Structure 1
């Protein structure tokens, strides 16, 4: 038993708006998990244009887990967008080199770390993820949300700035998900258990703990 070809760019027959990102992204500072896809009617292969201010000399990474669904125009603001707001000027002199390199020491407004998206995360249309954010497994980011704080696993957030709207499941069910981590199973096992994973039957989900 198997799913779509993990090496394909366009895994759905006759659909060219949805691509598996791992087979498209070339920037070594962007890490994509298996089966994560980007859906964009205008430019599905242009995902990297949505990773903004991602400069090599800063060295931050965008890490996205497995089985994530990312909608059109979802944007990831990286650490290169930060200017030093404690200095007398926010102008980034050091970035221009030459005799302006004296400004390099005080260039940044603070490194906020890598941006990390968990597994099985759904990021809605035109959502924006700010630098250094961690989004937990199973979370949902609503359309047009501006995410400025870390997002707990299996939560739904929305708004500007994004706030917790609710959790997807009760605490017991969330704990089961954290235990089984189905995205780490081999694809044959995932395929076999799709009827359970796509249902909302907690009793059946509990049975997966010991498989």
Structure 2
């Protein structure tokens, strides 16, 4: 077992206490943690490479973050989510259990496609391929066991159905489901969607959000139900 593997397993069992973050950044070249003091990391998670967790983010047991991964304010990951590669998720998102974000992929044009084979047998490299980063907006709900693939952008306010495989971009406030995922509806009519995107409430301070509690507790049937952005 390498020193890095020993350290990773030990910290996984400890839940990555804040006192260890600076030490990891200093002594492990492959690790850079930028974790807000209010973020919650339970035991059984694994963090590798460059990880940024914003205020009040919450991971659940068994989550693996491996790559250049960013989570915005108050985004939640339920148990056993995998985020691999270049993945950015916005604020106030709800990611259901066993969801996978797979930004990297295998090179398939050479005789073999197993990276370990090239490393250990040939003492060579087989770099992973990718179609671009995965970007998820704010206020997005992704259902259980969904898979989000390389190069995909999911817009603000979208919903991804359970078990979906997302291979193409999803528009803001769209409802997408299926394999491959397709838009099957919208959360709101067009005028309401436009007003909400102008509002960008997820960029507000939490004091302002609390001051507008009535807005967040109402159903949106028309543009008159959306408060002014001013």
TM-score by length of 2: 0.66
* CA–CA distance in structure 1, aligned partners of residues 93 and 118 of structure 2: 34
Is residue 161 from structure 1 mapped to residue 180 from structure 2 by the alignment? Answer: yes
Tell me whether 1:32 sits opposite 2:57 in the alignment: no
Query: How many matched pairs?
Result: 176
* Aligned mates of 2:217, 2:95 — CA distance in 1: 18
Query: Which runs of 5 or more residues in structure 1 are unaligned?
Result: 1-5, 11-18, 41-45, 55-59
* SS of equivalent to 2:175: strand
Q: What corresponds to 1:203 in structure 2?
A: 224
CA change 1:146–1:185 in 2 (3 A) is: same
Question: 2:96 pairs with 50, 66, 71, which one?
Answer: 71
The C-alpha deviation readout for 1:114-160, integer Å capped at 9, x for no partner, is 11111000011111111221110000000111111111110000011
Superposition deviation, residue 85 in structure 1: 2.8
Aligned CA RMSD, in angstroms, stands at 2.8
Q: SS in structure 1 opposite 2:196?
A: helix
Aligned ranges 1:46-195 → 2 under 5 Å: 47=81, 50-51=82-83, 54=84, 60-79=85-104, 82-92=105-115, 95-96=118-119, 99-101=122-124, 103-104=125-126, 107-108=127-128, 110-195=129-214
What residue in structure 2 maps to residue 43 of structure 1? Answer: none
Which consecutive unaligned segments of at least 5 residues does structure 2 have?
A: 1-36, 42-55
CA distance in 1, matches of 2:106, 2:65: 27
Q: Per residue, is there more strand in 1 or in 2?
A: 2
Over 3 Å counting, the alpha-carbon distance change for 1:95 and 1:179 in structure 2 is farther
- In the aligned structure 1, how far is the partner of 2:206 from the partner of 2:166? 31
Structure 1 pair 25/32, CA: closer, same or farther in 2 (3 Å)? farther
Larger CA deviation: 90-99 vs 148-157: 90-99
Q: Distance in 2 between matches of 1:120 and 1:91?
A: 37
Note if 1:21 corresponds to 2:42. Answer: no
Task: Considering Cα pairs closer than 8 Å and 6+ residues apart, tell me whether 1 or 2 has the greater RCO.
Answer: 1
